[in-house]
Each structure stands twice: as structure tokens, then as C-alpha cells.
Amino acid sequence: MTAAMAVSSESALFQKYELGRLLGCGAFAKVYLARDVATGQDVAIKVIHKSRLKNDANLIANIKREISIMSKLSHPHTVRLFEVLATRNIIYIVLEYVRGGELFAKVAKGRFSEPLCRKYFQQLIAVVSYCHSRGIYHRDLKPENLLLDEKENLKVSDFGLSALREQVHADGLLHTLCGTPAYVAPEILAKRGYDGAKIDVWSCGVILFVLAAGYLPFNDPNLMNMYRKIYKGEFRCPKWMSPSLKRLLSRLLDTNPNTRITMDEIKRDPWFAKGYKNAKFQEIDYNFGFAEDKRPVDLNAFDIISFSSGLDLSGLFQEKHTSFEDVERLTVEEPPEKVMEKVVEAAKAEEGRVNLRKKKEWGVELEGQNGNILVGMEVYRLSERFAVVEVKTKSGESRLWKDKIRPLLLQEPNVSC
């Protein structure tokens, strides 16, 4: 990042990231190049304004799914999710910055040699197989979602349309229609349900064909004609392809999912296996839980909204309410120690009407005279100057929090996008 791109540390996002140039812009998000102030590392930050997500349940579901799935992945050929930050109005998804751009841009200049095709296809199969072993099916594999790092190695991105094993129906199949037309498997077009692993294999086959041929196997200006070709498996390999590559493609693009080649069979295929070495890496054990009996630790916003074992991400998009209590989370420009000082100060002002009981270092409960808990509060450090406060109040008993304590704490971080 150049000096002209940098902003002062005082105005850095959560005092952690200096925002730089715009990398890309989509329908609901912008992606910026940024620099980690502490390490100097470049990252990509996806900025999502919550106002743009209103009344779009599918879009919210895709974002939740992408965050949830990427948090489970730790592979050298996936784009790494570093953390998720959030204010009242904006979500910031901090990702690994992949410098080489899309594989699509490279293949658009011309087809690859078979050795180069093999390199990228081996990396693709390694990471897709890894995802499948963890019950994750990408469902939208295409060259536009494959990035290249500075060493020309593959990185799979965009898990917004991915599915988890838990989404499989009682018939053992997935039923949601998704994917990009030219890369979609014939069984999805049949609308009778499909195996997530098998449609990923099909998409990998289309990608391999594109890399080796320089064009799509199934293509037609008329979408219905293209779907007909996909459904019937009508494609021809160009004459320059080796016989062994043609044989592999015929098995990858088998219209019958029951006889289509499997991941294990791909790895044993003679064309694929040449020089293949499975990626060696140390997997990170993600644990977003919080143990009640342990000292509070420094957490980022992703950890805080992910206490449940099911990785509940609803806190990013809306406040939770139940018939028993209201829950609110807010970001404050104070360290946890200062937050607790202000809470104690507010409780002293209510002396005689409210008792303060400490739960742990950065957690308190405020009781009424009858011993009922009016407010429960826990504070988590987000950075040196910012914290997230999680507050639970009894329904109809929120005056103490809203009128007395909240005004002392509420200060939006100085961020702008």
C-alpha cells in the first residue's frame, strides 16, 4: 500500500486497519484494500451496509452462510477469513488479500498448457475434497471464484452459495437451485434433488475443460439450448487434448451422477496423479465458544456473535428478543476497564434502589430491591480502544440501562466508508 493510500492511525477502522483503494464493488458490498496497523499486512475488507440488506432474506442468508463456512476452513487453497467487525450500521468482513486476481482473467488470454492445467486442477481438487470431508459443498465453482496468489497458486473464494451437510434432505439430497448456468450440473436442471459433492465434481470438470480448451464445453447464445446441451452432455474435446485428458473429462462430465467419477477416483486417475502431492498444512482448530468459568479473553466481533455451538450469526443483522429478556450489543470507544468504571458510577447514583453484583472481571448484574436481576452485562475487548458490550434486560425493566447507563457508554467508532 502506498503512502497516498494510507490514512492516519487515529482514523483507522477500529484503530486496526487503514483503508486504501477500492478493489471492487457489488450489488450490496464494496471491497477495499487495507493494511493491518499492527503487522503491516495487506488485507481485503468487504464492507456491507446493513440498510442494503433490508427485506432481502436470501442475501442475508448468503452472507451468514459465507461467514459461517469460511470460519470452518483452514486450507492453503482457500481465501482465509481473519475476522468480522461490526457497528450498528455496517459489517466489515476482513479477508486474506489475494494479489494475483481471478483465474478467469488469465485464461481469458488463452488456453493453458496441460502441465499448467494439471497444476491448477490438482490444487482445485485438493481444496474441494477438503471441503467435502468437512461436509461443505461449494455449489458455484467457476474460474471467477478462483483467485491466484503472488506465487501463482490457487485460492477458492465466494462461499455464499455453499451448502452444509446439515442442509441435506431426508432423501439424502440437496434441493436448492443455484450455480452459474454454464457450470451447473444436469441433475440440478432436472429439479429432482442432487448430491452436493457430485455437482462440485461436474463444475470442476467444466473448469478443467475451460483451462485446457480456452472456451466452455457447453455454450450457446440461447440459454435453453445451452441447458439442453448440458442435460444431454453434448460437448467435444479439441484435437490438441491428450487422450488421457479426454478420458478424464468424459468421466468428470458424465451426465449420470451415479457413474460420474468420484474425488477418490480423480486422485487415482493417471492424468491427474502425475506429480501430485497432497497439500501439507497445519489446520487451525476454530473455537468460538466462551467458557463461563474462565477469565474473559480478548475477542473480535465474530467471536462475540458466535457463542452458540450452532454459530448463530443473527446478531450481525438484528437484535434478539425473547419474552423473558431483551438483548443488545453495542460497540463503544472505551476499553473494558473504563466501561466497568462507568457502570459502577451509574450504579452508585442509584444507591438504595439498585445493588451491583460482580460476576467476573468484566461482567456485572444489577439487582432491584426485591433481588430480581434488572440488568446483566458483559464486556469484551475488541481492540486497545474499543469494546463490545452485551446487555440483557428483563422485559419492561430497561429504564436503568437505557436512561442511565447506555448514555454514558454509547459512542460510535470513528469509521467511514
Question: Which CATH number fits the domain that encloses residue 362?
Answer: 3.30.310.80
Average pLDDT over residues 273-278: 84
**CA nearest to 203, candidates 175, 230, 164:** 230
Mark whether 140 is an active-site residue: yes
Average pLDDT over residues 302-328: 47
Residues 200 and 64 in one domain: no
Residue 75 has pLDDT above 90, yes or no: no
pLDDT computed for residue 245 by the predictor: 97
Q: Is residue 208 part of a domain?
A: yes
Angstrom distances, CA of residue 360 to CA of 259, 295, 334, 338: 59, 8, 19, 15
Instruction: Tell me the pLDDT tens digit for each residue of 22-69.
Output: 888 776 788 889 999 989 999 999 888 887 777 777 777 777 777 877
180 vs 183: CA distance, rounded Å: 6
Which of the pair, 203 or 56, is modelled with greater confidence? Answer: 203
Angstrom distances, CA of residue 207 to CA of 104, 141, 151, 235: 10, 8, 20, 14
pLDDT band of 296, cuts 50, 70, 90 = very low
**CA nearest to 358, candidates 374, 372, 339, 377:** 377
416 vs 397: CA distance, rounded Å: 34
Residues 324 and 264 in one domain: no
Residue 396 has pLDDT above 80, yes or no: no
Domain residues for the domain of 113 are 103-273
Residue type, 89: N
Q: What is the pTM of this model?
A: 0.66
Of the residues 53, 75, 96, which one is the last residue of a structural domain? 96
Residues 17 and 66 in one domain: yes
Residue 17 has pLDDT above 50, yes or no: yes
Residues 143 and 269 in one domain: yes
Residues 72 and 181 in one domain: no
* Cβ atoms < 10 Å from Cβ of 318: 10
Of the residues 96, 114, 147, which one is the last residue of a structural domain? 96
139 vs 383: CA distance, rounded Å: 36
- 129, 227 Cβ separation under 8 angstroms: no
pLDDT band of 294, cuts 50, 70, 90 = very low
Q: Is residue 308 part of a domain?
A: no
Instruction: Tell me the pLDDT tens digit for each residue of 373-382.
Output: 677 777 777 6
159 vs 138: CA distance, rounded Å: 6
Buried b (16+ CB within 10 A) or exposed e, 342-355: ebeebbeebeeebb
Nine-digit cell string for 287: 473455537
Nine-digit cell string for 193: 434433488
In the predicted model, what is the mean pLDDT of the chain?
76
pLDDT computed for residue 172 by the predictor: 45
Q: Is residue 303 part of a domain?
A: no
Residues 267 and 130 in one domain: yes
Q: Is residue 301 part of a domain?
A: no
Q: Which has the minimum average pLDDT: 32-41, 50-59, 174-183, 255-264?
A: 174-183
Residue type, 325: E
pLDDT computed for residue 335 by the predictor: 79
CATH code for position 65? 3.30.200.20
Q: Is residue 154 part of a domain?
A: yes
Q: Is residue 309 part of a domain?
A: no
The winner for highest mean pLDDT among 46-60, 146-160, 257-271, 279-293 is 257-271
CATH code for position 247? 1.10.510.10
Residue 133 has pLDDT above 60, yes or no: yes
Residue 134 has pLDDT above 60, yes or no: yes
Residues 137 and 92 in one domain: no
Residues 44 and 69 in one domain: yes
182: which residues sit within 8 A by CB, 6+ positions away? 142, 206, 216, 218, 219, 226
Percentage above 90 pLDDT, the chain: 24
Q: Is residue 61 part of a domain?
A: yes
pLDDT computed for residue 272 by the predictor: 95
274 vs 267: CA distance, rounded Å: 10
Of the residues 63, 96, 129, which one is the last residue of a structural domain? 96
Bridge partners, 357 (sequence order): 365
Q: Is residue 402 part of a domain?
A: yes
The catalytic residue among 42, 56, 140, 269 is 140
Q: Which has the minimum average pLDDT: 111-115, 137-141, 213-217?
A: 137-141
Q: How many domains does the chain have?
A: 3
Residues 68 and 177 in one domain: no
pLDDT computed for residue 284 by the predictor: 47
Residue whose C-alpha cell is 450489488: 27
184 vs 181: CA distance, rounded Å: 5
Backbone φ, ψ for residue 51 (5° rounding): -60, -25
Residues 268 and 369 in one domain: no
Residues 257 and 342 in one domain: no
Residues 267 and 246 in one domain: yes
Residue 3 has pLDDT above 70, yes or no: no
